[in-house]
Structure 1
C-alpha cells in the first residue's frame, strides 16, 4: 500500500504533478464540535481498514534552510493555505488521508518533511536549527501571508513553536496527539512519569498505535512502520525557537484545537485536559479507540474534526470564530 501511494511522489529532481482525483467535500460538513467533545464513530468511519485515497494534483519543490534543503508539496494557489506538520515517525508523505479531503474542501494544502525525513536533507550535525525557523523559510518561500497549521505529535510541537514565534502569520493551529508544551517543566515531568524506564526499547508500533488499530489493520501497521524506519535518530531532532508552554499558547491570541486519542500513551485525555487548562479557549476533542496517530488511525474522524475547525477560522473573517 505504501509503495503504491509513494509512486505518486517520484524523484524530486524535476517539477511535476501528482495524479488522481479528489474526494467530494459535501459529505464532510459537520456541526461545530463543543469543547471537550468526544468525536464518536460515524457510519463511514469504523475500524475497518481504509485505503489511502487518490491524491489531487500537487507540485513538489525544495526550499533552503541554510545547511541543506527541505522537500515540500503544494496543491495550488487557491484557498486558505493549510500547512501539515508530521510526526517524528513520519514525513511530508504521511498525509495521504488528508491531502485530497482538505483540497477538495477548498483549501490549499501544503506538506513538507523536516530535516532528515523523507526527501529532506539532514543538515549539519552541530546545528539542527529550530522548528519555527525552518517552517518560516517555507512560508516565506511560498509567499504565504497567513496560514493554518495542522500538526501531529512532533509536528504539533513544531506548529506550537511557529504560533509563538510568528503569531501574526497564523490563522489557526490544530495540535493533535502531541506533547505540545515541552517548555513547561511540570507538565513534562507528569508526562514522562506515565512511561516506564524501558519505554525506549519497546516497538514503535506499540508505543504509538492503538491496540484496536494493530488488531484490525495489520497492513496499515506495516505501512506505518515502513515510514517510521526512515526517520532520523532522536539525537538529530530539532529544538524549539520559543519556549512552548500552555500559558504562552493561551496568550498568543491564535485559535487552537487540541485533540488526542483515548489510547494515546504520550498524550492521554487527562494530559490533554492539563494542556487545556492553560489554553482555556482551545477546543478539545478525544478520538475513540485511537492512539498517537489520529490522522492515520482514524482518518475520517480526524478529517471531519479538522475541517470543522478550519471552516470556523477561515482567513478574512469568513468563519464564525473559534
Structure 2
C-alpha cells in the first residue's frame, strides 16, 4: 500500500477541526475545556476549543483514498475511529485536550466519509485493514485506539487481530460488531420500524442535551452533515464474525463507555458485553446519549486521559 499527500506536500498548519466554516465558527480560543481536571455541571454548554496545529494528508489503499490529520509530536499516539454519522471532523473536543496532555492525536475518515473516496459498489473494504494501512503509513509501533459507535466495530476487530500493536482500547457506545444471535435479537428490539430513518441528532444526542444546548446540537449536526455529504455510506466489514467466544479472547486493556440515555446502547446492553469482558473498565455517563465525547467532553476527556495513563475504573462506574 502506498501513501500520498496533497500536491503541495503534507502541510503543517492549524486545522480548526473541520477545515470548514462550521468548525471555524465553533472554535473558541482559550476556553477552559482544555483543562481535563475541571468539573462542570453536565447541562453547562462547553464551547469547542481552539485546535492545535496538525498536518493532514491522504493515504491510498486498495480501492480507495483516505483522508487523515495528525498533530504529530513524540508522545504516545492516540488513533480516533469515528462513528457512522461522522468523520475525522468529529473530534474537536478531544484533539486539543489530548494533544496538550502530551499525546500524538490522529484521526481519519473511513471510505465515503468527509474527504475520503467512496467505497466501490459492493466492496466497502475491511475496516481493520484500512486502519492497519494507516498506522503502518504513519509508522506507529504501538498506540492507543479509541473507537466510537460504528467505529468501535473496527477498533474491536483491530484489537482482536493485532493486540500486540495496542497500548489500550477505548470503546464508546458501540455494539462492537458482535454477531451472537441472541444479542442481535435483543438489540433489534430497541429499534422499531422507522427507527433508522430518524435524524442522526435525534438518535445520537440525548433529549437532555438537545434541550439544554441548542447551539451544541446544531454544531453536531453541521459536522455530521459535512461528514456524510448528504448521502448514506455503506458500512465497512469486519475481518471475521465477532462471536462471544472471539470477543472473550480480547487481551488489550479496555475501557467501555456508554450513556444512560443512549437509544442504541442503554446500560443493560452494555452489561451484556461486559459480562464477556470481565477484566474491562466501564463508565456510564448520566444524562448522556450515544455521543458522550460531545455531550460530556470535560468528563469524557478527563476520564479517558486517566485511563490512557494507566488508571482503571470499577465495573460500571457512573458519572
Q: Does TM-score exceed 0.5, indicating one fold? A: yes
1:172 Cα shift? 0.9
Structure 1 Cα separation of the partners of residues 142 and 252 of structure 2: 12
Contact 1:22 1:55 in 2 (8 A): no
1:194 partnered with 2:190: yes
> Taking structure 1 as reference, are residues 125 and 282 closer, same or farther at Cα in structure 2, changes over 3 Å only?
same
Q: Deviations over 1:97-130 (max 9, x none)?
A: 0011111111111011111111111131131101
SS of the aligned residue for 1:58 comes to strand
SS of the aligned residue for 1:120 comes to coil
Higher relative contact order (CA 8 A, sep 6+): 1
1:27 Cα shift? 4.9
Structure 1 Cα separation of the partners of residues 34 and 222 of structure 2: 33
Structure 1 Cα separation of the partners of residues 34 and 120 of structure 2: 46
Match of 2:281 in 1: 283
Match of 2:298 in 1: 300
> Taking structure 1 as reference, are residues 177 and 82 closer, same or farther at Cα in structure 2, changes over 3 Å only?
same
Q: Deviations over 1:3-24 (max 9, x none)?
A: xxxxxxxx96542321687888
Instruction: Give TM-score scaled by structure 2 length.
Output: 0.85
Q: Deviations over 1:237-277 (max 9, x none)?
A: 11111322444233221111111000001110010111000
Match of 1:311 in 2: 309
Structure 2 Cα separation of the partners of residues 220 and 26 of structure 1: 17
Instruction: Give TM-score scaled by structure 1 length.
Output: 0.84
Contact 2:33 2:47 in 1 (8 A): no
Match of 1:4 in 2: none
Contact 1:174 1:256 in 2 (8 A): yes
Structure 2 Cα separation of the partners of residues 13 and 212 of structure 1: 45
Structure 1 Cα separation of the partners of residues 200 and 32 of structure 2: 34
Match of 1:256 in 2: 254
Q: What RMSD, in angstroms, separates the aligned Cα atoms of the two structures?
A: 2.5
Structure 1 Cα separation of the partners of residues 123 and 147 of structure 2: 23
Structure 1 Cα separation of the partners of residues 35 and 220 of structure 2: 27
1:151 Cα shift? 1.0
- The runs of 5 or more residues in structure 2 that have no matched partner are 17-28
Structure 1 Cα separation of the partners of residues 71 and 233 of structure 2: 32
Match of 1:268 in 2: 266
Contact 2:119 2:234 in 1 (8 A): no
1:149 Cα shift? 0.6
Q: Deviations over 1:205-233 (max 9, x none)?
A: 22111011110111211122223234275
With 79-88 and 162-171 compared, the bigger mean Cα shift is at 162-171
Q: Deviations over 1:19-39 (max 9, x none)?
A: 68788899535xxxxxxxxxx
> Taking structure 1 as reference, are residues 28 and 203 closer, same or farther at Cα in structure 2, changes over 3 Å only?
closer
Contact 1:150 1:174 in 2 (8 A): yes
SS of the aligned residue for 2:153 comes to helix
Q: Of Structure 1 and Structure 2, which has the larger fraction of its residues in strand?
A: 2
SS of the aligned residue for 1:101 comes to helix
Match of 1:159 in 2: 155
SS of the aligned residue for 1:186 comes to helix
> Taking structure 1 as reference, are residues 216 and 13 closer, same or farther at Cα in structure 2, changes over 3 Å only?
farther
1:226-245 matches, cutoff 5 A: 226-230=222-226, 231=228, 233-234=231-232, 236-245=234-243
SS of the aligned residue for 1:229 comes to helix
- The runs of 5 or more residues in structure 1 that have no matched partner are 1-10, 30-41, 314-318
SS of the aligned residue for 1:279 comes to coil
> Taking structure 1 as reference, are residues 65 and 23 closer, same or farther at Cα in structure 2, changes over 3 Å only?
farther
With 190-199 and 246-255 compared, the bigger mean Cα shift is at 246-255
1:65-214 matches, cutoff 5 A: 65-214=61-210
Structure 1 Cα separation of the partners of residues 291 and 60 of structure 2: 29
Aligned length in residues: 294
